[in-house]
């Protein structure tokens, strides 16, 4: 019996597991696979509430019905009151459904692509979250004290802002990934399984060097842990949730009225680079985007920035036309 034929005789849960495993094999990050798992669990739960989560019920009308359910759904996650799912969330969910539908067809597990009739409304994109100003970044970076954890946190905040690393990318940094002579950080297996080398500024390097010399030895009872940033509880590699908490604690100390996350520092890094004159392809390389089309969504270039750039660089910007 072929593997596809064996899958056809199992349930939807087994097919979802096989699809997710294949995603990992194809080089998708664990974060990508996890959010795919989340949306497909929602699909299974929705099907279960309607009496069947079997593979044979995956038809175009059923997928279209689930899509309509998502467009009607409201959530209060990270919001003061329940609101409809954002256009970004819907786009991600529909992308997962289309990918899973195509996978089912490729493996001949369904007679027709169940995602072929998926349609989503064109609701307005959510308002962009405000980034930190240069002054606000300075305030944030001054909040850690001179304690062991303060030195660690200062190095973390400096690294996030200097490099624009994703949360998971910072957590998996090992000691040999930082080149102090070249002033670079090696990101291993970033999004899409791609490695890249990212520059890190002198100020951030000084903070990291001091943390490694003075604070990290106090957090690590022995040798054998390669991670750069360590948890004070486990004495092992810092986790993503702990990283979120560290950034949030120091943003509160800085007195910000907005929610600050590692991802917001990534946006801030990219925008400040562009505002400082960096070329978009260079910022794309730093952020690790496979396509340059993704980079503008991580930036906050104002109308004034664009107008100033046009006035400085366009050959006819200062010519009066009768």
User: Which spans in the chain are helix H?
Assistant: 3-8, 12-25, 30-49, 60-72, 87-106, 134-141, 148-163, 167-171, 202-210, 216-219, 240-253, 262-275, 280-287, 303-313
> What's the rounded Cα separation, in Å, for the pair 139 and 141?
6
Please, what sign has the CA dihedral across residues 93, 122, 290, 208?
negative
The least confident of 28-42, 135-149, 159-173 is 28-42
pLDDT band of residue 8 (cuts 50, 70, 90) is very low
Per the CB < 8 A criterion, the answer to whether 16 and 96 are in contact is: no
Tokens for 283? 């910022």
Angle between helices 148-163 and 202-210 (to 10 degrees): 150
What's the rounded mean pLDDT across residues 241-252?
A: 94
> What's the rounded Cα separation, in Å, for the pair 165 and 199?
11
Instruction: Give the pLDDT confidence score for residue 54 in this predicted structure.
Output: 76
Domains and their CATH numbers in the chain: 3-106 (no CATH), 134-310 (1.10.443.10)
Position with higher pLDDT, 46 vs 7: 46
pLDDT band of residue 35 (cuts 50, 70, 90) is confident
Q: Distance of alpha carbon 53 from its chain centroid, rounded?
A: 30
pLDDT band of residue 317 (cuts 50, 70, 90) is very low
Q: For the chain, what percent of residues have pLDDT higher than 90?
A: 44
pLDDT band of residue 294 (cuts 50, 70, 90) is low
Look at residue 204 and tell me whether its pLDDT is greater than 90: yes
Look at residue 251 and tell me whether its pLDDT is greater than 70: yes
What's the mean per-residue pLDDT of the chain?
83
Cβ neighbours of residue 251 closer than 8 Å, sequence gap 6 or more: 140, 259, 260
What's the rounded mean pLDDT across residues 76-80?
A: 66
Look at residue 72 and tell me whether its pLDDT is greater than 80: yes
Instruction: Give the pLDDT confidence score for residue 18 in this predicted structure.
Output: 94
The least confident of 161-165, 200-204, 220-224 is 220-224
Position with higher pLDDT, 116 vs 320: 116
Q: Based on C-alpha coordinates, what's the Rg of the chain?
A: 23
Residues that are catalytic: 166, 191, 263, 266, 289, 298
Instruction: Give the pLDDT confidence score for residue 11 in this predicted structure.
Output: 80
């Amino acid at each position: 019996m072929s593997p596809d034929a064996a899958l056809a005789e199992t349930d939807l849960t087994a097919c979802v597991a096989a699809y997710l495993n294949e995603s990992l094999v194809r080089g998708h990050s664990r974060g990508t696979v996890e959010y795919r798992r989340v949306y497909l669990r929602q699909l299974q739960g929705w099907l279960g509430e309607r009496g069947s989560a079997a593979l044979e019920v995956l038809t175009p009308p059923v997928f279209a019905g689930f899509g309509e359910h998502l467009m009607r759904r409201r959530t209060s996650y990270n919001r003061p009151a329940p609101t409809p799912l954002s256009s970004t969330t819907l786009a991600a969910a529909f992308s997962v459904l289309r990918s899973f539908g195509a996978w089912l067809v490729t493996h001949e597990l369904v007679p027709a692509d169940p995602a072929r009739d998926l349609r989503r409304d064109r609701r307005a994109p959510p308002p962009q979250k405000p980034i930190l100003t240069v002054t606000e970044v300075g305030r944030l970076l001054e909040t850690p004290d001179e304690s062991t954890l303060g030195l660690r946190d200062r190095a973390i905040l400096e690294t996030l802002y200097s490099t624009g690393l994703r949360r998971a990318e910072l957590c998996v940094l090992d000691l040999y990934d930082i080149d102090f002579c070249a002033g670079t950080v090696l990101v291993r297996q970033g999004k899409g399984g791609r490695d890249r080398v990212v520059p890190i500024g002198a100020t951030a390097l000084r903070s990291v060097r001091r943390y490694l010399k003075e604070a990290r030895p106090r957090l690590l009872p022995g040798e054998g842990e390669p991670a750069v940033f360590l948890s004070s509880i486990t004495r092992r590699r810092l986790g993503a949730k702990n990283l979120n908490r560290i950034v949030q604690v120091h943003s509160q100390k800085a007195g910000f009225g907005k929610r600050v996350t590692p991802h917001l520092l990534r946006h801030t890094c990219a925008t400040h680079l562009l505002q400082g004159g960096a070329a978009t392809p260079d910022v794309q390389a730093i952020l690790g985007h496979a396509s340059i089309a993704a980079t503008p969504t991580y930036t906050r270039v104002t109308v004034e920035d664009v107008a100033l750039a046009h006035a400085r660089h366009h050959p006819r910007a200062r010519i009066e036309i009768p």
